[in-house]
Amino acid sequence: MVGIRDVAKESGAAIATVSRYLNGQIDLRPATKKRIDDAIEKLGYVPNVMARRLASGSSETLGLMTTDIEYPFFAAIASAAEAEAARAGFQLAIFNSRNSVEKELEILRYVETRQIDGLIMLTNHIEANEIATQIGQSGRVVLLDEDVSGVDAPKIFAENWEGGAFAAEHLLKHGHTQVAFVSGPRGMISVEERLKGFIERLGKDGIEIDPDMVVCGEYSEAFGVGAIEKLISANVRPTAIFAGADNLAVGIMKGARRLGISVPGELSLIGFDDMSFAEMLDPPLTTIKQDAHTFGRQGVRAMLALLKKKPLPPIVRVPVELIERASVGRPKISA
């Protein structure tokens, strides 16, 4: 087999120079680079990747953990993160925890054992002490989209408060005052910040949201179906709903159809995410856009900076914007 010694002999460069060049640890003059590259091509030299990784103490692999890779928003994050990692010369290992605490702990230990250099982590277990402890022990973790209580790590979140405020502003502009909020579990930063922005913007116009109009539980289509059934049976029926995720909005649309309620004729609806399917719904969904690809790229960049021990802001925010389509109209039921 052709080795570094052969490349060094053919190119006339020192063995150490060739080794450092192949590991990206030295910047050589163009003429020297050309001699080494020509020697590599002539001899058909293939670098020993495992040996290089052992020597550098790096797996050259980053990890991305999501709770459910099937959800389009998370899949889009993974796609962008893989492309960004590849540009930096890293592989990306994608882990699907299926929302299991035990699985998330197992994946976090891959950082400790150097099977991956660092982990970009999406989790719903915001109050799990064992996960917070393991993140502290593993180090080299970037939190994406959701927080974990008591964890000191780089964090990348959406401008959730602004998203809630944008939704409220849009509904107010169309004359809605009897409004509801449907979202994932209370305590999650995405839920709490979006709800706070929604409530505070309504409050500027003197409108208070009825506590019965706040329905939180799961980020799932099935929960959206159940939520609309619950809200329609309440004493005060909402004329509009702000859903904390587009898949919740899909469930609300399905439930509304079963109940014979038209959108937006009798019920206006706003989602959150702006997934690719949102504009293909009937009616096309008005939603708050948060760019999944930005999350993926920013997550990898933060991880690479962390590995290089560069200073990082404690929290980076991904901007959001209102995407107006056809699921919001004026209320049929007067306030």
Span 308-329, pLDDT tens digits: 899 999 999 999 999 999 999 9
Q: Kindly report which listed range (40-49, 141-150, 277-286) carries the lowest average pLDDT score.
A: 40-49
Domain range 160-290, CATH class = alpha beta
High-pLDDT (> 90) share of the chain, %: 79
Residue 291 has pLDDT above 90, yes or no: yes
Domain boundaries, the chain: 4-56, 61-158+292-318, 160-290
Q: Residue 333 — very low, low, confident or very high, per pLDDT cuts 50/70/90?
A: low
Question: How confident is residue 303, by pLDDT bands cut at 50, 70 and 90?
Answer: very high
Q: Given this model, what pLDDT does residue 335 score?
A: 42
pLDDT tens track for 163-205 = 999 999 999 999 999 999 999 999 999 999 999 999 999 999 9
The CATH architecture annotation of domain 61-158+292-318 reads 3-Layer(aba) Sandwich (3.40)
Q: What is the pTM assigned to this prediction?
A: 0.82
Q: Is the pLDDT of residue 139 over 90?
A: no
Just give the CATH number of 4-56: 1.10.260.40
Give me the pLDDT at residue 161, please. 98
- Mean of pLDDT values over 116-121: 95
Q: Do domains 4-56 and 61-158+292-318 have the same CATH topology?
A: no
SS (H, E, C) the chain: CCCHHHHHHHHCCCHHHHHHHHCCCCCCCHHHHHHHHHHHHHHCCCCCHHHHHHHHCCCCEEEEEECCCCCHHHHHHHHHHHHHHHHCCCEEEEEECCCCHHHHHHHHHHHHCCCCCEEEECCCCCCCHHHHHHHHHHCCEEEECCCCCCCCCCEEEECHHHHHHHHHHHHHHCCCCCEEEEECCCCCHHHHHHHHHHHHHHHHCCCCCCHHHEEECCCCHHHHHHHHHHHHCCCCCCCEEEECCHHHHHHHHHHHHHCCCCCCCCCEEEEEECCCCHHHCCCCCEEEEECHHHHHHHHHHHHHHHHCCCCCCCEEEECEEEECCCCCCCCCCCC
Where does the pLDDT of residue 45 fall: very low under 50, low under 70, confident under 90, or very high at 90 and above? confident
